[in-house]
Amino acid sequence: MELKDILKDGSKELNVEITGYQVDQLIKYKDILLEWNQKMNLTAIEEEKEVMIKHFLDSLSCIQTKYLKTEGRMIDVGTGAGFPGVPLKIALPNIELTLLDSLKKRIGFLEEVCRETNLINVEFLHGRAEDFGQNKAHREKYDYAVSRAVAALNILVEYCLPFVKVGGYFICQKGPGLIEELPEAKNAIKILGGEVVDQIVIDLPFSDITHHILVIKKIKQTPIKYPRKAGKPSKEPIK
């Protein structure tokens, strides 16, 4: 099966519509990813078809939640090689995207990806979520935060919820571990101003992989003491 068909048919299976141009953008992204991966560690997945399925279709599955609209501000926290933020920006070009990562080299890679795929209205932040979550320019300024398996859920919500404005959503991609992590994170979600509104099981096309998307709505402001100083959320998660 050709790479283009994997993207077209897989997207259709996820009820996501993408154009031929968007398919071309994703293939260009794949080329840059695999080229840069030769000199720095961006992904353990190096087979082209696997990139299409496990990175691109996986990222696009966030759209299936129905909470993501075609416009608004989105931050991808701990974006790494750009997942899920960049594929979502390709599929939803009117979204204003911010990519946050703690590694400068990865930010350089992401800048090249966005330049080469003609993505505009993308902001690049080099630093830690705990610091930017206390920054007035970013705190509670986003309609959506997205993140893909960056940390355990009770830690991840402290990284992400401070960015989301009241009425916005944190869309969190997780593996099967979510079932164990959710009860431990319920108190943290409540303290940080969130409420779980949906939990969706995704069967990834062309694979036997099942993953989970948790949707948390921001129902009240995050107390000013959160996020705590860098390193604190992971060392002492909110109980």
Asked if residue 148 belongs to a known ligand binding site, the reply is yes
Is 111 annotated in some ligand binding site?
A: no
pLDDT score recorded for residue 113: 98
CB proximity list for 191: less than 8 A, separation 6 or greater: 223, 226, 238
**pLDDT (0 to 100) of residue 149:** 75
pLDDT, position 18: 97
What percentage of the chain carries pLDDT values higher than 90?
97
65, 174, 34, 108 alpha-carbon torsion, rounded to 10°: 90
pLDDT band per the 50, 70, 90 thresholds, residue 122 = very high
Give the tens place of pLDDT for each residue, 81-114.
999 999 999 999 999 999 999 999 999 999 999 9
Query: Could you tell me the pTM of the whole model?
Result: 0.97
pLDDT at 1 (0 to 100): 85
**Average pLDDT, rounded, for the chain:** 97
For position 150, what pLDDT does the model report? 79
Residue 161 sits in a domain whose CATH number is: 3.40.50.150
Q: Give the mean pLDDT of 187-206.
A: 97
Which structural domain, as residue segments, surrounds residue 199? 3-235
130 is in an annotated binding site: yes
CA dist 238 → 52, 139, 154, 186, 203 (Å): 36, 19, 7, 10, 31
Distance, CA of 146 to CA of 119 (rounded, Å): 18
CA-based nearest residue to 233, from 151, 176, 172, 167:
151
User: Has 46 been labeled as part of a binding site?
Assistant: no
Give pLDDT, residue 169: 98
Is residue 83 part of an annotated ligand binding site? yes
If one counts the domains in the chain, the total is: 1
Strand order in the sheet with 164-174: 122-126, 95-101, 72-77, 142-148, 164-174, 210-218, 194-203
Confidence grade of residue 62 (pLDDT, cut at 50, 70, 90): very high
**Per-residue confidence at 59, pLDDT binned at 50, 70, 90?**
very high
Q: What is the pLDDT of residue 75?
A: 98
Across 59-63, average pLDDT: 97
